[in-house]
Structure 1
Amino acid sequence: MALDLILRNVRLADAGPGQPAATDIGVKDGRIVALAPGLQGDAGEEVQGHGRLVCAGFVETHIHLDKSCILGRCAHEKTRFPHLAMERVSAVKPSFTVEDVTGRAAGTLEKCISHGCTRMRTHVEVDPKVGLRGLQGVKALIDRYKWAIDLEICVMPQEGLTNNPGTDELMVAALKSGATVVGAAPNYDTDRPAQIRRIFEMARDFDVDIDMHLDSGASADELDTLLVCELTEKHGWGGRVAIGHVSKLASMPQPAMDKVARRMADAGVALTVLTATDLYLGGRHTDHSVPRNVVDANRLAELGVVCSVASNNILNPFTPFGDGQLLRQANMQAIVSQRGSDPEVRSIWDMTTNAAARLMRHPDYGIAVGAPADLVVLDAPDALTALRTVAPVLAAYKRGRRTVTREPVRLHAP
């Protein structure tokens, strides 16, 4: 059989009992056509994996390409509290042009691609200050980078909806012109329940999924997650709703948090933890015994909630760090939530791969015969080692075509 690509002697993250420790992967016409040791046949490209891990491409469920890499133009914070990240970004948004957004977003997207990301949902803000320029700037990247990544846009009202005249109309316009998911940020709205209800209306009108920024804060008072669960069930949107941050859950005693988690699982509401941002912004109300402000995603996953870990902001006032490496976020999540056993680490690995794909409703994800050949080779023998060591990506493929090459490190002894 003539193949386009053979990856030889590689280990699979999801190898089951009885499967060989190492195998070959055969690719033809952008799809996996064979999984077996010692594949016979010629291939346009043949790569020796030397027992390294191959996984399906990483899945970024929550990032902000439109406002990445703006640190240099924002005022710097001089105190820990209050922290004015939204105000800092808001002040410079009127200066955004379509070309500016495209340029910055492309740079961030290429970083993510270089670290093995092959599927992504980016949140994009619309409001009277920025209009649709952020959407237009990011939308230009969908076709430009489809050779390496599948990119979808979630449109959101970062600075409020019910209290920000003109934003509702811009949200609708965005959903008519390229956005395929609708988002929310009720923390910044004077009427949080009204924003949430309006977002569900938009989702039903356009038959799109929902992905909200929700319940950031140091106290579990006034938990909007419960309203989201109620509306998800009311409108039959189970499995189509995700909420990000939800750091209020981190302030709850475990029995109370478990109750909310079970409510989310029953309603079909998924969770995305934005570890770096939640750590950086959280706990600023105190100068000692600073709380972690990060949800224990492992516990929610144990109770049936679909969970992902994602990057959120990169090099802006919300998170003045980041390089688009999802494994770094997963590693950080494991450390800060004190989840170090093999099963716990494996669960967090899934939050950037299998579970993240389920959150985005991508049933074709994974390494199996017939699946798209979106493949990543890591410098590690297995998923646990890769996450524990933040192993570098050595190669990536999108639909069987190589998109990334990184040479393994070499030591030059005297």
Structure 2
Amino acid sequence: MADAIDTHEIPRGDGPVLLANATLPSAVTAGILNHIGDGLGRADILIDKGEVAAIAPCGELIDDGGAARIDLDGGLVLPGLVDMHTHLDKGHIWARRPNPDGTFPGALEAVKSDREAQWSAEDVRRRMSFALACAHAHGTVLMRTHLDSIPPQDGISWEVFKDVRRDWADRIDLQASALFGVDTLEDPAFLPAIADRVAEAGGVLGAVTFMIDGLETHVEAMFRAAEARGLALDFHVDETADPNADSLRIIAETAIRTRFSGQIVCGHCCSLARQPDDAVDRTLDLVARAGIGVVSLPLCNMYLMDRAGGRTPRWRGVTLLHEMKARGIPVAVASDNTRDPFYAYGDLDMVEVYAQAVRILHLDHPSGDWIRAATSTPAGLLGDSTRGRLDVGSPADMIVFAARNWNELIARPGGARTVLRGGRAISRTLPDYRELDDLMASKDLGI
């Protein structure tokens, strides 16, 4: 097969379609496969009425002539991908507010300046919609975005989010988590106000944790506020090279002590890779006991961590996914920032993210079931067990590649692919950056 599915061959009506000679990862299906090694198997997939109607070894599905048969010639098929940690409100501001030096402090200051000067409802809505159009074209079906929630921005961005979630409901299932520095909780009026706003919007409570006096008290207050409102928790944790940063341990201890009943996710956890083995073991044992999921953001953290002018970085900035997974801790990878001061690049393409994660984090030799880190594991952490899998009865939302195995996919992640939603090919035309040109004048810089 020289290319992905010829979309002209896919019927536009409601009739059944048989995708013959597909390659599937066994980790994301309960279907019966002819296994070919490296966690992959061959199968035929019958799609009917927008769902996966059957999966069987090649040639075993009886075609009564009613299904349109398309031979994939071994093309790899993945379920629609799950991007569980993004920042849609920050996305695509690079042209008007670049990071001056590529550092974490530079990103913080640039975003703060841009937010205070330009984050109107229209600005946030248009940039969010542009980013979602990219993610949809690439094959993402479920996403969580963090929203900067320091007043007065919370009153703007959460209302925009609710509108955008409704507008995109037939294409991407969208969630949101609050984002603010944990030191904001020193204002006693802030937490109940933001927790109520999050609850009203059906969101998730979250914060950036770092080592400050009273951190344990602030973290426990967040657990109590979330428990009282039935909210999940999603923290940005220890995004630093400082080995003394161990708020991940504090979060895990608090979860155990409070017997928190909701889902907890911790993102980044970079400093863990800088700590001695005995400290790592103690923390990860607590994380496993607490049932916390961890998401690594390899592209953003390699961009930011250990950056200094004129000096080659000495470490990768990613957390210890292998050690976590070995303990049964749910682990995922995600996009994080997109064309903003925290990460200058990216396009919310989870195929690219996964391919780079394989290279950066050594998710190979063997590839095994690591594809779950971009599919079923993040879906589960986001509370949706129907996403990230291809089982009989699941939505026929999938990506079909010209690549026939992991090596071909990771070697050429930008290669031909066809995105199916409800078993029908969608347009993969990406929005042009020129669509945002009128938003790119920086008001305070005069450019």
TM-score (norm 1): 0.87
Residue number among 29, 33, 38 corresponding to 1:19 in the alignment: 33
Taking the aligned partners of 1:114 and 1:302, their CA distance within structure 2 comes to: 34
**Are the aligned partners of 1:298 and 1:348 in contact in 2 as well (CA < 8 Å)?**
no
Q: What's the counterpart of residue 334 of structure 2? A: 310
* Cα offset, 1:17, TM superposition: 11
* Cα offset, 1:320, TM superposition: 1.0
| Aligned pairs for 1:91-102 within 5 A | 91-94=113-116, 95-102=118-125
* Cα offset, 1:275, TM superposition: 0.8
Secondary structure of the residue aligned to 1:9 is strand
Structure 1's 139 and 202: CA in aligned 2 closer, same or farther, altered over 3 A? same
Residue number among 32, 38, 43 corresponding to 2:52 in the alignment: 32
**Are the aligned partners of 2:195 and 2:205 in contact in 1 as well (CA < 8 Å)?**
no
Taking the aligned partners of 2:287 and 2:46, their CA distance within structure 1 comes to: 40
Residue number among 95, 99, 110 corresponding to 1:88 in the alignment: 110
TM-score (norm 2): 0.81
Matched, 1:6 2:53: no
Residues 27-83 of structure 1, C-alpha deviations (whole Å, 9 max, x = no match): 333322211344424668654423211111111010011111111232541x46673
| Aligned pairs for 1:360-379 within 5 A | 360-365=382-387, 366-379=389-402
Matched, 1:389 2:401: no
Matched, 1:331 2:352: no
Q: What's the counterpart of residue 409 of structure 1? A: none
**Are the aligned partners of 2:146 and 2:179 in contact in 1 as well (CA < 8 Å)?**
yes
Secondary structure of the residue aligned to 1:99 is helix
**Are the aligned partners of 2:85 and 2:335 in contact in 1 as well (CA < 8 Å)?**
yes
Residue number among 338, 342, 359 corresponding to 2:381 in the alignment: 359
Structure 1's 285 and 303: CA in aligned 2 closer, same or farther, altered over 3 A? farther
Secondary structure of the residue aligned to 1:71 is coil
| Aligned pairs for 1:95-174 within 5 A | 95-158=118-181, 160-163=183-186, 167-174=190-197
Task: Return 179-188 or 272-281, whichever deviates more.
Answer: 179-188
Counterpart of 1:356, as a letter, is P
Matched, 1:319 2:319: no
Q: What's the counterpart of residue 282 of structure 1? A: 305
**Are the aligned partners of 1:112 and 1:323 in contact in 2 as well (CA < 8 Å)?**
yes
Taking the aligned partners of 2:425 and 2:260, their CA distance within structure 1 comes to: 37
Structure 1's 330 and 75: CA in aligned 2 closer, same or farther, altered over 3 A? closer
**Are the aligned partners of 2:211 and 2:247 in contact in 1 as well (CA < 8 Å)?**
no
Q: What's the counterpart of residue 259 of structure 2? A: 236
Aligned length: 403
Q: What's the counterpart of residue 349 of structure 1? A: 371
Residues 340-390 of structure 1, C-alpha deviations (whole Å, 9 max, x = no match): 412xx3444221112222222322231111222221112211345423432
Taking the aligned partners of 2:187 and 2:413, their CA distance within structure 1 comes to: 42
Residues 114-133 of structure 1, C-alpha deviations (whole Å, 9 max, x = no match): 22111111111211141321
Taking the aligned partners of 1:62 and 1:121, their CA distance within structure 2 comes to: 5
Residue number among 63, 82, 90 corresponding to 1:59 in the alignment: 82
* Cα offset, 1:171, TM superposition: 1.5
Structure 1's 393 and 196: CA in aligned 2 closer, same or farther, altered over 3 A? farther
Taking the aligned partners of 1:170 and 1:402, their CA distance within structure 2 comes to: 43
Gaps of 5+ in 1: 407-414
* Cα offset, 1:166, TM superposition: 6.1
**Are the aligned partners of 2:182 and 2:218 in contact in 1 as well (CA < 8 Å)?**
no
Q: Larger RCO: Structure 1 or Structure 2 (Cα < 8 Å, ≥ 6 residues apart)? A: 2
Task: Return 219-228 or 63-72, whichever deviates more.
Answer: 219-228
Q: What's the counterpart of residue 206 of structure 1? A: 229
Secondary structure of the residue aligned to 2:91 is coil
Q: What's the counterpart of residue 9 of structure 2? A: none
* Cα offset, 1:9, TM superposition: 2.5
Matched, 1:261 2:284: yes
**Are the aligned partners of 2:21 and 2:72 in contact in 1 as well (CA < 8 Å)?**
yes
Taking the aligned partners of 1:82 and 1:273, their CA distance within structure 2 comes to: 17
Counterpart of 1:90, as a letter, is K
Residues 306-329 of structure 1, C-alpha deviations (whole Å, 9 max, x = no match): 100011111111111111112222
**Are the aligned partners of 2:85 and 2:334 in contact in 1 as well (CA < 8 Å)?**
yes
Secondary structure of the residue aligned to 2:95 is helix
The runs of at least 4 consecutive aligned structure 1 residues that moved more than 6 Å come to 15-18
Structure 1's 55 and 76: CA in aligned 2 closer, same or farther, altered over 3 A? closer
Structure 1's 189 and 323: CA in aligned 2 closer, same or farther, altered over 3 A? farther
* Cα offset, 1:143, TM superposition: 2.3
* Cα offset, 1:211, TM superposition: 0.9
Taking the aligned partners of 2:115 and 2:225, their CA distance within structure 1 comes to: 25
Q: What's the counterpart of residue 412 of structure 1? A: none
* Cα offset, 1:274, TM superposition: 0.8
Counterpart of 1:33, as a letter, is A
Counterpart of 2:50, as a letter, is G
Gaps of 5+ in 2: 1-13, 35-40, 430-447
Secondary structure of the residue aligned to 1:10 is strand
Q: What is the RMSD of the two structures over their aligned residues, measured on CA atoms?
A: 2.9
Residue number among 246, 251, 257 corresponding to 2:274 in the alignment: 251
